[in-house]
Amino acid sequence: MSILSCRNLVKEYAVGSEQFTALDKVSIEIDKGEYLAVTGESGSGKTTLLNLLGLIDKPTSGEIIIKGKNVLADVKDPSSLRNTFFGYVFQNFYLEPNYTAFYNIEIPMIISGIPAKERKPRVDEALKIVGLINKADVKCGKLSGGEKQRICIARAIINEPTVVLADEPCGNLDSANTESIMNLFDELNKSGTTIILVTHSHEEALRANKMIKMKDGKIIEIESN
């Protein structure tokens, strides 16, 4: 059953006096528990699609449907969906370097209004899942790249999202850390979390159960693994 889909998504940008089409009438259906890899060269529209699906950006036209509702027309507060339905993992981490790993993970729960007594055990559990319980009180600016990405994953799953969106999560990591991070995504998917992974790496994409290839803002190929 589809839990997230889009219909005829278009995203245009003004470049000087001209319009640039970053996404051109893209439609996809994503089922609960699916592991989808989005591939293609730079500029193909991968990240644009991810940002629109994750409600980080708004399309020029088209529909985004979450659990049967057209979000753009029927949902008054998409920020709540962003914080609970989705978890986000970015190539550049976007952690607060002067905050501890614990606090960086805790932030989405604070935004959601979860009481402090409930937050600590949940952060501890997330840190255990990513293997960094011993780094809870370390400021993120002092962590390695691989450790930062693990903290990002812990932050992404802290509100138990239905879908985790990952944009080139291993783009800044060496091969050993890449393998470790990809194993974490495998485990999350096995536990029932839907994963949408944007990647340049064919090897990473093969870990998903479905791949879509993009070019010039369009989906040109769909393949099941």
The CATH number linked to 88 is 3.40.50.300
Three-class SS of 61-86: EEEEEECCEEHHHHCCCHHHHHHHCE
Distance from the first to the final alpha carbon of the chain: 19
207 found inside a domain: yes
Q: Tell me how many domains the chain contains.
A: 1
Half-sphere exposure of 145 (CA within 13 A, CB side): 13
123 found inside a domain: yes
52 found inside a domain: yes
For 150-160, letters b (16+ CB in 10 Å) and e give bbbbbbbbbbe
17 found inside a domain: no
192 found inside a domain: yes
pLDDT for res 19:
87
What 3-state DSSP class applies to 101?
helix
Domain of 149, in residue numbers: 34-59+77-224
181 found inside a domain: yes
In 3D, which of 89, 211, 70, 200 has the Cα closest to residue 152?
89
pLDDT in tens, the chain (225 residues): 789 999 999 999 988 888 899 999 999 999 999 999 999 999 999 999 999 999 999 999 999 999 888 998 877 778 888 888 999 999 899 999 999 999 999 999 999 999 999 999 999 999 999 999 999 999 999 999 999 999 999 999 999 999 999 999 999 899 999 999 999 999 999 999 999 999 999 999 999 999 999 999 999 999 988
pLDDT for res 75:
74
93 found inside a domain: yes
Numbers of helices and strands, H then E, in the chain: 8, 10
CB-CB contact of 105 with 140 (8 Å) = no
DSSP 133: G
Amino acid at 135: K
Amino acid at 23: L
26 found inside a domain: no
